[in-house]
């Protein structure tokens, strides 16, 4: 493929830091680089505690454990998201309650959240699609009024903001992804952000196989032992070293991706008059250029567009199969009301390459040619 959908960014220092990790003779978790990255993330997200994990999925599983999700508990979330958002809670016996999305932002429709609440609701999980913020004022108000914890699945949202507040800093807890498809990556990796201090001590135990090892390492107990349920959610130092190098250039990476998004928007101005609908950015949102997408008129149009771009050696892709229509989603979850907007996004949304170094002019030219020839 002449232009693949994604190429992971390489900052230049990753191999140097990995060698340092070997020289330090500690490759297991919570070494020098893990601590450095955690401190960087706490500052970046204005979070009380950042716990590095081996994936965002792991961080979401920790959320379910921290919230004591039990069989029959309901968790409100969008259906237009990755399976990990639901899986983490289903593993504890929770029931995902799928709510439709706002057709402009592809984020959870806050008004519909109110309709989905029940006496069994134990959490609201908001996903900031494409690094574009949900309306966190409204969702936070619902959370506080009903005394229901608010979880931010900020997998795609590093360096993105809501009214100048970092996404991931607003809910009771949040998760971030450092998968290779994300702006900042280490191949596989994630982070749990804790914005309420009451969760910190238990989260450290859950992350360390249910032991109080963190207390022991700080000299607060004279030996460590098994005290709670948990698992091995730590990443190794090699991943943390790689991530450390990425974060050093994180703002630069974000600025390049945002520039690429602006290039697309500028090129597609005429198409937005009727051929396609461009991304909508609410006034409260400062995105991070993680995804650039537009909405086609129909599934047929999108399929033809993707096929045409593939013939030009450009990889453009759709995104999620909605969880509510998946076999597991039907088995373990339920819907609250119509899912019309979710279904439309699944049929019509197409993502363009936006990684640093992509030739946005070539992608734009082929796109314009497609719509001028056919539509």
pLDDT in tens, the chain (375 residues): 799 999 999 999 999 999 999 998 888 888 999 999 999 999 999 999 999 999 999 999 999 999 999 999 999 999 999 999 999 999 999 999 999 999 999 999 999 999 999 999 999 999 999 999 999 999 999 999 999 999 999 999 999 999 999 999 999 999 999 999 999 999 999 999 999 999 999 999 999 988 888 876 777 887 888 989 999 999 999 999 999 999 999 999 999 999 999 999 999 988 877 789 999 999 999 999 999 999 999 999 999 999 999 999 999 999 999 999 999 999 999 999 999 999 999 999 999 999 999 999 999 999 999 998 876
Beta bridge partners of 51: 192
Contact 233, 54 (CB under 8 A): yes
Contact 98, 324 (CB under 8 A): yes
Helices and strands (H and E) in the chain: how many? 14, 14
Interior CA angle at 372 toward 368 and 375, to 5°?
120
Q: In what order do the strands lie in the sheet with 285-286?
A: 165-166, 161-162, 285-286
Based on C-alpha coordinates, what's the Rg of the chain?
21
pLDDT at 375: 62
Contact 323, 174 (CB under 8 A): no
Where residue 289 falls (left for φ over 0; alpha for ψ -120 to 50; beta otherwise) is left
Q: Which two tokens stand for residue 356?
A: 């640093």
Spatial separation of the C-alpha atoms in residues 156 and 175, rounded to whole Å: 9
Q: Which two tokens stand for residue 249?
A: 């250039």
CA distances to 80, 243, 315, 356, 358 from 5, rounded to whole Å, are 20, 22, 5, 11, 9
State whether the Cα torsion 285-290-294-299 is positive or negative: negative
Report the relative pairing of strands 150-153 and 173-177 from DSSP bridges. Answer: parallel
In this prediction the pTM is: 0.95
Spatial separation of the C-alpha atoms in residues 242 and 129, rounded to whole Å: 25
DSSP secondary structure code for residue 207 in this structure: H
Domains observed in the chain: 14-248 (3.40.640.10), 250-374 (3.90.1150.10)
Spatial separation of the C-alpha atoms in residues 78 and 203, rounded to whole Å: 25
């Amino acid at each position: 493929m002449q232009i693949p959908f994604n190429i992971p960014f390489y900052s230049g220092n990753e191999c140097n830091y990995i060698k340092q990790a070997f020289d330090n003779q500690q490759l297991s978790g919570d070494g020098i680089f893990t601590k450095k990255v955690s401190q960087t993330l706490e500052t970046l997200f204005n979070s009380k505690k950042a716990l590095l994990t081996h994936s965002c999925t792991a961080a979401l599983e920790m959320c379910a454990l921290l919230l004591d999700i039990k069989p029959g508990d309901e968790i409100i979330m969008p259906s237009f998201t990755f399976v990990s958002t639901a899986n983490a809670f289903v593993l504890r016996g929770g029931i995902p309650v799928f709510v439709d999305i706002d057709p402009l932002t592809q984020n959870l429709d806050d008004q519909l959240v109110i309709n989905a609440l029940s006496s069994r609701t134990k959490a609201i999980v908001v996903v900031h699609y494409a690094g574009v913020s949900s309306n966190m004022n409204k969702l936070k108000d619902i959370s506080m009024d009903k005394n229901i914890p608010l979880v931010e699945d900020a997998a795609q949202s590093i360096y993105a903001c809501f009214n100048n507040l970092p996404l991931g800093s607003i809910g009771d807890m949040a998760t971030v992804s450092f998968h290779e498809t994300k702006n900042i990556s280490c191949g596989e990796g994630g982070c749990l952000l804790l914005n309420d201090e009451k969760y910190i001590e238990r989260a450290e135990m859950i992350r360390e196989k249910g032991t109080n090892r963190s207390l022991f390492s700080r000299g607060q107990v004279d030996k460590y032992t098994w005290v709670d349920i948990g698992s091995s959610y730590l990443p190794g130092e090699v991943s943390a070293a790689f991530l450390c190098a990425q974060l050093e250039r994180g703002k630069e990476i974000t600025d390049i991706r945002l520039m690429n998004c602006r290039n697309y928007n500028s090129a597609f101005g005429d198409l937005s008059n009727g051929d396609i609908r461009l991304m909508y950015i609410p006034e409260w949102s400062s995105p991070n250029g993680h995804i650039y997408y537009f909405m086609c008129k129909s599934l047929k149009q999108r399929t033809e567009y993707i096929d045409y771009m593939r013939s030009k050696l450009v990889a453009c892709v759709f995104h999620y199969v909605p969880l509510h229509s998946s076999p597991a989603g039907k088995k373990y979850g339920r819907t609250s009301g119509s899912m019309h907007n979710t279904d439309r996004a699944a049929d019509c949304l197409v993502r363009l390459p936006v990684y640093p170094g992509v030739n946005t002019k070539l992608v734009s030219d082929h796109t314009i040619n497609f719509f001028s020839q056919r539509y």
